[in-house]
Structure 1
């Protein structure tokens, strides 16, 4: 009993230091909480980044089975290792009001896809909302998959898309793209920037209209003052200075000469049409309907 009493008495006599510890913890509570939040955010971001960069099949429209998804992920990993180019597949039932081209470009840019400094790679989109499919290219893939090659891929895929053989189409796009990468850019390949500027704003139209009307009025006033001879007493002698001579003229048709020549069609362009995405990244690409 005496021993227990001594222990109780000891703790009762040392309550002040314990309260000091609680005071310190209370003082630095905000700093500790802030540190914990920062560490948790960094940890969550690292997990998200790993998940973001590892997945390449985003079947949001549920077009593929689980086995087909796994098979495509494996095929895409082999594609990336072999060709040093990124490949992403996306299916969707809602493009959020965007065109298939805009949706594909933004999905690629906003999720950090692409290899190397130029984010080189491609994205294949199946848009079930508009029944369209689209290929978006970035970096060196813009030169490899020029307009002609993309058109060949699209034309060869249209019938399978109409029949719902989506898995076969994706595998074909992978295989065809890999073959083109092996061949390298086509001869005389060049990039052609497409004019994707928006329509003139209402303010621009109003300013241009006012400027046009003002110029027209100024021109009319200038002509009136210089050529209409206002406030002048000079009169042109119409009757004295006017005369009319009538002569007879005949033309006889002898024969016709017709010259024909063959105008060869221009060779198909080997260029890649490019445009600027909403993120400021240059993209190529093309697509079709099914």
Structure 2
């Protein structure tokens, strides 16, 4: 009996504990959340992680003195790697700053318009001192955006160079339409070729001698003049609105590409 109790105690000591698993998602250095709240937030993050094939995080701090954007970007890159899928919400209590850093496909899921909505919800809860609700609002919005998919016509705008990169994707109904059109075209081509080559087995001969006709004419072309017209194409403006909400502003930190934004509270 004593050995059995020791064995059970050994298993309990080294078995994973659900509350500890939350530390992977919530790094609460400022001690703003209870263990139960961290666990609940971790459970909410799991559903997002499966869909984006990456990870989302929450980091709270009351000692950071670095620029919040640089700090959040580097923390995210340390966790998911350079340009991999992920998002990190930084709650900087020392500088009273909120910053959302996105990487990989989360840059496209959370474009500028969606980012502003997410930060509005997080900021409102932070001003009320409800840190759990602020974190939950972040995860709720992120899940909602991922479930809705990348908005049509999305693109990225590099804040330094102004370069625009279009997001290309095929929606399910577009795939089905393309498949149907391709199938119809393939069947039509097959039937057409089959009907044409069936003449090889018959006695039909085309009367090319009677139907052939050749007319030769002399033609001369002379270049009289030429004109070249040029016009200036203006560079698209780089603003936080992202062209009506379809764009995602991006920047580089530590060699990686990030999206996101922040604000004070």
Sort the TM-score into its range (normalised by shorter chain).
0.5 to 0.7
Report the alpha carbon displacement of residue 74 of structure 1 after superposing the two structures with TM. 2.2
Higher radius of gyration, 1 or 2: 1
Report the alpha carbon displacement of residue 142 of structure 1 after superposing the two structures with TM. 0.5
Matched, 1:77 2:77: no
Q: Which residue of 2 aligns with 1:273?
A: 249
**After superposition, what is the alpha-carbon deviation per residue over 1:21-65, rounded to whole angstroms, capped at 9, x for unaligned?**
xxxxxxxxxxxxxxxxxxxxxxxxxxxxxx999712100011001
**After superposition, what is the alpha-carbon deviation per residue over 1:71-102, rounded to whole angstroms, capped at 9, x for unaligned?**
2222222331244331011001122x321111
Q: Which residue of 1 aligns with 2:114?
A: 149
**After superposition, what is the alpha-carbon deviation per residue over 1:203-246, rounded to whole angstroms, capped at 9, x for unaligned?**
xxxxxxxxxxxxxxxxxxxxxxxxxxxxxxxxxxxxxxxxxxxx
Structure 2 spans left out of the alignment, 5+ residues: 1-19, 162-241
Q: Which residue of 2 aligns with 1:223?
A: none
From 156, 159, 167, the counterpart of 2:132: 167
> CA separation in 1, counterparts of 2:133 and 2:99?
16
> CA separation in 2, counterparts of 1:195 and 1:285?
15
Check conservation: 1:53, 1:113, Cα contact below 8 A.
no
Q: Which residue of 1 aligns with 2:152?
A: 187
From 73, 77, 80, the counterpart of 1:105: 73
Q: Please, what TM-score do these two structures have when normalized by structure 1? A: 0.53
The CA RMSD measured in Å over matched residues stands at 2.5
Check conservation: 2:22, 2:41, Cα contact below 8 A.
no
Superposition map of 1:1-290 within 5 A? 55-95=24-64, 97-110=65-78, 112-113=79-80, 118-195=83-160, 268-278=244-254, 280-290=255-265
> CA separation in 2, counterparts of 1:53 and 1:281?
26
> CA separation in 1, counterparts of 2:77 and 2:243?
34
> CA separation in 1, counterparts of 2:33 and 2:45?
15
Report the alpha carbon displacement of residue 148 of structure 1 after superposing the two structures with TM. 0.8
Report the alpha carbon displacement of residue 113 of structure 1 after superposing the two structures with TM. 2.1
Q: Please, what TM-score do these two structures have when normalized by structure 2? A: 0.58
**After superposition, what is the alpha-carbon deviation per residue over 1:172-201, rounded to whole angstroms, capped at 9, x for unaligned?**
1111111111111122211111129xxxxx
Runs of 4+ in 1 over 4 A off after TM superposition: 51-54
> CA separation in 1, counterparts of 2:253 and 2:60?
19
> CA separation in 2, counterparts of 1:267 and 1:136?
20
Q: Which residue of 2 aligns with 1:25?
A: none
**After superposition, what is the alpha-carbon deviation per residue over 1:157-182, rounded to whole angstroms, capped at 9, x for unaligned?**
22211011111111111111111111
